[in-house]
Structure 1
Amino acid sequence: MSNKKSKNKLNTLRKDATLKTRLINEGIYDNINWDKLKIEEELSKKSVVVKEQLPVIRSNESLLPVWDLKRYAFLLEEKMPHTVNPKLWEQGKMNLNAGLFKVTDKIYQVRGLDLANLSLVKGETGWIVIDCLTSKETAEAAINLANEYFEDIPISTVIFTHSHVDHYGGILGVLSSNTERDIKVYAPKGFTNAVIEENVNAGVAMSRRGIYMYGEVLPRDKKGQIDCGIGKYVSTGTTTFINNVHEISPIANQEYVEKEIDGVVMQFLLTEDTEAPSEMDIYIPSEKSLCIAENCSATLHNIYTLRGAEVRDPIAWAKDIQKAIDLWGDSLTSIFEVHTWPRFGNKYCIEYMEKQRDLYQYINDQTLRLINKGYTLEDVGRMVKLPESLCDEWYNSSFYGTVNHNSKAVYQKYMGWYNGNPVDLNKLPTEQSAKKYIEYMGGEDEVLERAKRSYEDGEYQWVAEVTKQLIYANPENKNAKLLCADALEQLAYIAESGPWRNVYLTGAQELRHGVIQVKRSVITEDVLNAIPLENVLYLFSIRIDGRKAGDFDYKINFIIPDKEEVASAEVKRGIFRYLDNKLAEDAAVTVTMSKDILYEIATTNIRPDSSKIIVEGDICKWQLFLWVQDIINLDFNIMTPVSNN
């Protein structure tokens, strides 16, 4: 089927906003504080030096652009539709402001060329780059944009504010034009370990769920992906990494770490376990400007992110914002962030930081209040509401995180998954219970008819829940899938949060059309090259089928000549365990292979060409090891049972 026909078919299945959805969005529109919005609009455009009109960035390795804002032209051309929450529509328009922006005389930002920002500080010999975007290609474009305006200024230093891929993934793009210079790269304490633990070990699941969260395969139009709240979407270029990162650690009895970097004094406040496990703020005294990393943004952020990650600590988050106020509040005159736009003026900056601080403290404390009254995870998400003194600011809106799922995250942090009711301690598997629910409710036809009536009454969340039972009881029930998709679509249309809209719409799209395969991973060759062999081998540990390998008991040596590393490991009691960076004399088998072959075995389902591996010792032991490696499914089911893959 041609792309045009596929698009037409998709458009015929997508629905308009129902009357109830229209009324909800009209009510939201009527309650917008237009004065607060005007402040944000002015800040999002302030001090533009070079304006990029809907930039498109291409890669030599892909037919499709890795970044394309032209797909969002409809936001500027169309009247606000009923199929988008009006506040998200306005936030989406502001996130189209792209180009080079001035923060102070020595600080600039490139915005709108990726989900995040790339910031530039003028040093004595070149640019000090703060954060590098997601992809090599977008980072190169950002540096080129700056060079076109300032002429060619070399890169002297790179600083990562934290351990999320949209801030380090473009590092080789930043360094590509400065290969002859010895460029130091700084990051907060624990950076490399945090990158590996979050983005590599759980990289397959996180990438799959990230497709939902960021709406990667959705159309860009008034019924599709609009925004992610903190930016448009995640660029789809090449994710890179390096291993020569100098980590900044706290110094005893000092509130911050001060360094002179390329002639610029910088003061680093380590903010561990806030928005990321490894994160830091950067104050530049000469400019009276604070880079507050991702601890403040023009939105409520995520205590828990829908793509999946460890729950963040809202109390640490609030305390570290207060530390920044205590340290630099008397002197700072501007704040710039790694997403969205800067703030200016001492009084306004402090008020902004205080209100962002209080968001996380409030959600934490109010959730605990409800926990101690006996309310459970599902209860607190709907019960915690912000007071007017916090929610009256545009920048505290739920464009990215929401009070609902952040409150649930606080419950999870303190109480875990168990709600205390013994009925829920060991529930039946979802597919098994779904079949019984449908049987008890009168069968598939009866349930579907009732669900249709509920849809007509505007009970979209209930319809989605009921039809999920139908789908899990019978994944072939096409009518249940289509009705569930319709319900999710209406929920998307009223969602203020970009990620909520994206997950609803992606779920609806997969129910209607099936899973669209996306050949993309954060576990790239550049990333694997930059991490130690021990961490590469751990990818085998989390793939091994423990039951199959339960009786194994032997050691394996690995020799990877072009990585210039060796290792010994053992398979025992169903566990593959790294032992040492030395070869074991009593290993049952020793394998020698190139790093490319190792990466292929560790990250794909392709079994290697045996002629490319030198096996010494018991070859059967090596073959058994390969046999117990489980299959990787990059496109596992989310809307239908995983067992139905």
Structure 2
Amino acid sequence: MLKRLCLLLICLLLAAPALATQPPGDAPPDPRLIEHNKDFPKEVIKLTDGVYVAVGYGLANSALIVGDGGNIIVDTMESVEEALPVREAFAKLSDQPVKAIIYTHNHPDHVFGAAAFAAGGEPLVVSHSSTNYFLDRFLNTISPATSTRAMRMFGPLLPAGYHINSGIGPHLGYKPGMTIGLLRPTKTFDDKLELEVAGVKMLLFHAPGETDDQINIWLPDKKALFIGDNFYKTFPNLYTIRGTSYRDVTKWVASLDKARDLRPEYLVLGHTLPLKGADEIYKSLTNYRDAIQFVHDQTVRGINQDKSAGQIAAEVKLPKHLAEDPYLIEYYGMVPWSVRSIYDGYMGWYSGKARDLFPLPLPEQAALMAELAGGPDKLLAAAQKALDKGQAQWALELGDDVLQLQPENAQARALKVKAIKALVTGGVNANARNYLLTCALETEGGLTIPKADKKKVASEVIRAVPIARVFETMMVNLDPQKSAESDILVVFSFPDLKADYSAHLRRGVVEIRQRPSAKPDVVLTMDSNAFKEFMAGKIKAKKALSPEYAKVEGDPMKLMMFLEMFK
């Protein structure tokens, strides 16, 4: 069960092409997407005295602030291996020890290389108070879905020729065997924090936007602002197609207003090149916040006009001066995706239209569509006709309908691939390009997204997961058919934590409580870390439940029956 928590991490670590293929002669990108590579050259840029930014070494940037007798690192790359070249480059500028590491937010490309910069020392690690929560949730209950989507969106599995960039950086820098060097925050705050490290005065303040735990860092003596992922050189990911909880765009706008009001002369971004010049920065931030507000306001306007999310997404277009702003080209986020997310954030999934209240399942829709067309062959012919007419989206939908009915239909599969590549052709959005081309290669059978290998999960990673998360994952991995007639109460006792948890499996549901509420059928007593490794598959059941590791009181067969329900 815990292995589900670790799936996203493992998939990221295994991000390498599954099968090499020839570079494509089709699906060319918009030339602007190729030109966008210039926004993350691999170099360390001096922004002002004592402030340097490493750009293009991985998906995110890392920054160095040189103090008196010590250095400060802001964001730390996506792994120790990706961080080491940055650390070496920074060392050429200042070989002082790192006194503090600051996380602007919880995303792995900003935090997983921290140990490389610490270099065995014990620097202060600073973040928002909620960052630890989000770090834990990163290995969350829906990680199997988000991990698969992330592999498609960032495109690390794409062979040479397909991948242009990842929208906000050159690539997602995860490869087999890379080391996760996360250091947990040791100093946190809620609203704002005045801090002085190595003589450098800083104001850290909460600035929710792309993430709820986002912070900005203001150096008043240098007029430099570190804005994290609330601003980068592309239309923002107000919604991400890899899947995430709702991003409150009104809070994002308010955070950008706080940043504008400081009138920074230097702006350090979490992705893409930093900016210089107070007027240029103010103008860019103003346009950025205006674009976000425009999409929000026009979406709400459409909602109040009783329009569906699809209708509004088709209608909302940025004003010309914003659409042409170089910082608002849709390399990463897209306006239609944002509209749909804002709609869902206010109204939920239902469009308000009668036809959408009880939508047919896809297989049933496909069967009825085929019947209407005169059979799967006629449906496939209609899909081909749509593709020939340049109606790639319609061709993709019809081709998918055929595959719903005939999964092994090679002709439908080939048509689907052509339709996907036609959708991609000329597109400027890296996320859409990477996602769709990965789907095309999966459809062809030329690429396989790696599955979790629990043996590759480090014990340190497993042990860092809070015990409550293990039980949360247990709840969503219960097999409803196996457990339909079962009623078993198990108490898990962890002497090292001085805590007991009860798990009441009750006909398709398992209720978790921190304190037992009734007489249990079984009590399992063991060390919490051993329990985590057992649940992750690092320790086999026979060994884990032996007297060496555990004490079982009650009916051991009921315990085994209980555990079998979660496979």
TM-score, normalised via structure 2 length: 0.89
Alignment match of 2:145 (pick from 196, 205, 228): 205
Asked if the contact 2:19/2:446 (under 8 Å) is kept, the reply is: no
Alignment match of 1:146 (pick from 90, 93, 102): 90
What amino acid maps onto 1:261 in structure 2?
A: V
What amino acid maps onto 1:599 in structure 2?
A: E
1:625 aligns with 2:562: yes
1:571 aligns with 2:516: no
3-state SS of 2:399 partner: helix
Asked if the contact 2:53/2:64 (under 8 Å) is kept, the reply is: yes
Shift of 1:582: 9.8
Alignment of 1:22-41 (within 5 A): none
1:226 aligns with 2:164: yes
Alignment match of 2:236 (pick from 279, 298, 301): 301
> What is the distance in 1 between the residues matched to 2:468 and 2:69?
38
CA distance 1:335–1:388, shift in 2 (3 Å): same
> What is the distance in 1 between the residues matched to 2:18 and 2:492?
54
Alignment of 1:149-188 (within 5 A): 149-150=92-93, 152-175=95-118, 177=119, 179=120, 181-188=121-128
Shift of 1:301: 1.1
Asked if the contact 2:218/2:225 (under 8 Å) is kept, the reply is: yes
Mean CA deviation greater in 277-286 or 580-589? 580-589
* Match in the other structure for 2:323: 391
Alignment match of 2:189 (pick from 228, 238, 248): 248
* Match in the other structure for 1:215: 155
> What is the distance in 2 between the residues matched to 1:346 and 1:244?
32
- Count of residue pairs brought into register by the alignment: 540
Alignment match of 2:257 (pick from 315, 322, 326): 322
> What is the distance in 1 between the residues matched to 2:498 and 2:405?
50
CA distance 1:584–1:128, shift in 2 (3 Å): farther
CA-to-aligned-CA distance 1:81-113 (integer Å, 9 cap, x gap): xx1111111113433x10222111111112212
> What is the distance in 1 between the residues matched to 2:79 and 2:452?
12
Higher relative contact order (CA 8 A, sep 6+): 2
What amino acid maps onto 1:295 in structure 2?
A: N
* Match in the other structure for 2:44: 100
> What is the distance in 1 between the residues matched to 2:130 and 2:19?
46
CA distance 1:292–1:587, shift in 2 (3 Å): farther
> What is the distance in 2 between the residues matched to 1:315 and 1:107?
31
Q: What percent identity do the matched residue pairs reach?
A: 26
CA distance 1:5–1:528, shift in 2 (3 Å): closer
Asked if the contact 1:158/1:185 (under 8 Å) is kept, the reply is: yes
1:439 aligns with 2:371: yes
Asked if the contact 1:291/1:337 (under 8 Å) is kept, the reply is: yes
Asked if the contact 2:43/2:56 (under 8 Å) is kept, the reply is: yes
* Match in the other structure for 2:218: 283
Shift of 1:384: 0.7
What amino acid maps onto 1:234 in structure 2?
A: L
What amino acid maps onto 2:564 in structure 1?
A: W
1:16 aligns with 2:26: yes
What amino acid maps onto 1:570 in structure 2?
A: A
CA-to-aligned-CA distance 1:333-359 (integer Å, 9 cap, x gap): 111111111111111110011011111
Alignment match of 1:125 (pick from 69, 72, 95): 69
> What is the distance in 2 between the residues matched to 1:582 and 1:239?
36
CA distance 1:524–1:201, shift in 2 (3 Å): farther
> What is the distance in 1 between the residues matched to 2:512 and 2:48?
49
> What is the distance in 2 between the residues matched to 1:382 and 1:616?
60
Q: Which runs of 5+ in 2 are unaligned?
A: 1-15
Shift of 1:519: 5.0
1:311 aligns with 2:246: yes
What amino acid maps onto 2:89 in structure 1?
A: L
> What is the distance in 1 between the residues matched to 2:224 and 2:93?
21
* Match in the other structure for 1:89: 34
Alignment match of 2:469 (pick from 535, 553, 556): 535
* Match in the other structure for 1:268: 204
Shift of 1:532: 2.2
3-state SS of 1:494 partner: coil
What amino acid maps onto 2:532 in structure 1?
A: L
Alignment of 1:453-602 (within 5 A): 453-513=385-445, 516-518=448-450, 525-546=459-480, 548-549=482-483, 551-559=486-494, 566-573=499-506, 574-580=508-514, 588-592=522-526, 595=529, 598-599=532-533, 601-602=535-536
* Match in the other structure for 1:30: none
What amino acid maps onto 1:90 in structure 2?
A: E
> What is the distance in 2 between the residues matched to 1:625 and 1:169?
36
Alpha-carbon RMSD across the aligned residues, in angstroms, is 2.7
CA distance 1:205–1:554, shift in 2 (3 Å): same
> What is the distance in 2 between the residues matched to 1:158 and 1:312?
26
> What is the distance in 1 between the residues matched to 2:379 and 2:519?
65
CA distance 1:4–1:620, shift in 2 (3 Å): closer
CA distance 1:581–1:5, shift in 2 (3 Å): closer
> What is the distance in 1 between the residues matched to 2:77 and 2:296?
30
What amino acid maps onto 1:289 in structure 2?
A: A
Shift of 1:165: 1.5
Alignment of 1:48-127 (within 5 A): 83-95=28-40, 97-127=41-71
Alignment of 1:415-426 (within 5 A): 415-426=347-358
3-state SS of 2:72 partner: strand
3-state SS of 1:115 partner: coil
> What is the distance in 2 between the residues matched to 1:553 and 1:106?
62
TM-score, normalised via structure 1 length: 0.78
CA-to-aligned-CA distance 1:27-56 (integer Å, 9 cap, x gap): xxxxxxxxxxxxxxxxxxxxxxxxxxxxxx
